């Protein structure tokens, strides 16, 4: 099993372009697995991890409901917000500046994980990251992602998680609100969950923790939780 993960940072990237580039990485792993199955080979499959952020955009997962978008197309355009249906699981969410998006494109066979175990591992990474700043991230039964004050009237989501897997290869990932403008969530029913708020590290801490510091914490905790070696590369295409 290969537990090396090549990682890079795409910076601010339009959502369709980031999706296209994810598919390139995904297909690279898939083709190796197809060849191995065809001829019984033992070729090593690579693993990738990408940081990015997106210009203002709402994305709707395969199981999402379009009525959870509360703005008509004309107002979306006026506010400079894009909207895309996408191939991940989950419902509607928002991406924008000040949010750290992480896209692991990995072969779960390399880590001995099933899909549920993978999602729980992603949650654990974020829970550990938040703990470094004294924030108590929690899971909420039946609601994927990481929450603050889960199970109370003050429950609020600080990190959304939505993934796609095929042949045990992952795509999409998590979106952690760091200095995100939370007003953009007012125009959707986030993740299709009514009556619950969203949060950011900035609003909770009262100061900006610094995106680069948070990214470094994510890399370190990802390595620990997945038992992986994170290797920085200049480009992943």
Task: Determine, yes or no, domain membership for 71.
Answer: yes
Assess if residue 72 is contained within a domain.
Answer: yes
Binning pLDDT at 50, 70 and 90, where does residue 20 land? Answer: very high
Instruction: Please indicate, yes or no, if residue 209 is contained in any of the structural domains.
Output: yes
Q: What is the pLDDT of residue 201?
A: 98
In total, how many domains does the chain have?
1
At residue 65 the predicted structure's pLDDT band, cuts being 50, 70 and 90, is confident
Average pLDDT for 212-233: 98
Can you tell me the mean pLDDT for 143-158?
A: 94
Q: Which two tokens stand for residue 175?
A: 């979106």
Q: What is the pLDDT of residue 191?
A: 67
What is the model's pLDDT at position 221?
98
Which CATH number covers residue 94?
Answer: 3.30.930.10
* Enzyme catalytic residues: 191
The answer to whether residues 10 and 102 touch, using CB atoms and an 8 Å cutoff, is no
The pTM (predicted TM-score) of the whole model is 0.95
In a domain, 42, yes or no: yes
Is a pLDDT exceeding 70 seen at residue 189?
yes
Range of the domain at 142: 4-232
pLDDT at 63 over 70: yes
Q: Is residue 199 part of a domain?
A: yes
Interval 123-136: pLDDT, tens: 999 999 999 999 99
In the chain, what's the furthest Cα-to-Cα distance?
Answer: 57
User: Rounded CA gap, 92 and 188, in Å?
Assistant: 7
- 237 within a domain of the structure (yes/no): no
Please write the tens of the pLDDT for every residue from 67-90: 898 888 788 888 999 999 998 988
* 85-95: b (≥16 Cβ within 10 Å) or e: ebebbbbbbbb
Residue with tokens 């109370």: 152
For residues 198-222, give the mean pLDDT: 98
């Amino acid at each position: 099993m290969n537990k090396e993960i090549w990682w890079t940072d795409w910076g601010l990237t339009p959502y369709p372009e980031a999706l296209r580039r994810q598919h390139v990485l995904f297909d690279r792993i898939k083709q190796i697995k197809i060849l191995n199955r065809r001829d019984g080979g033992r070729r090593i499959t690579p693993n990738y991890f990408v940081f990015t952020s997106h210009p203002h955009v709402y994305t709707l997962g395969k199981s999402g409901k379009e009525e959870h978008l509360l703005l008509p197309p004309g107002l979306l355009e006026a506010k400079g917000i894009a909207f895309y249906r996408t191939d991940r699981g989950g419902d509607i969410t928002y991406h924008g500046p000040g949010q750290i998006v992480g896209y692991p494109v990995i072969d779960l066979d390399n880590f001995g994980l099933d899909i549920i175990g993978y999602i729980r591992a992603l949650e654990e990474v974020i829970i550990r990251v938040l703990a470094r700043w004294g924030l108590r991230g929690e899971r909420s039964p039946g609601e994927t992602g990481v929450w603050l004050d889960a199970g109370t009237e003050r429950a609020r989501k600080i990190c959304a998680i939505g993934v796609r897997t095929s042949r045990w290869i992952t795509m999409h990932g998590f979106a952690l609100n760091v200095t995100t403008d939370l007003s953009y969530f007012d125009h959707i029913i986030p993740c299709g969950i009514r009556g619950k708020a969203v949060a950011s590290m900035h609003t909770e801490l009262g100061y900006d923790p610094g995106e680069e510091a948070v990214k470094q914490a994510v890399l370190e905790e990802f390595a620990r939780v997945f038992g992986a070696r994170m290797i920085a590369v200049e480009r992943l295409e």
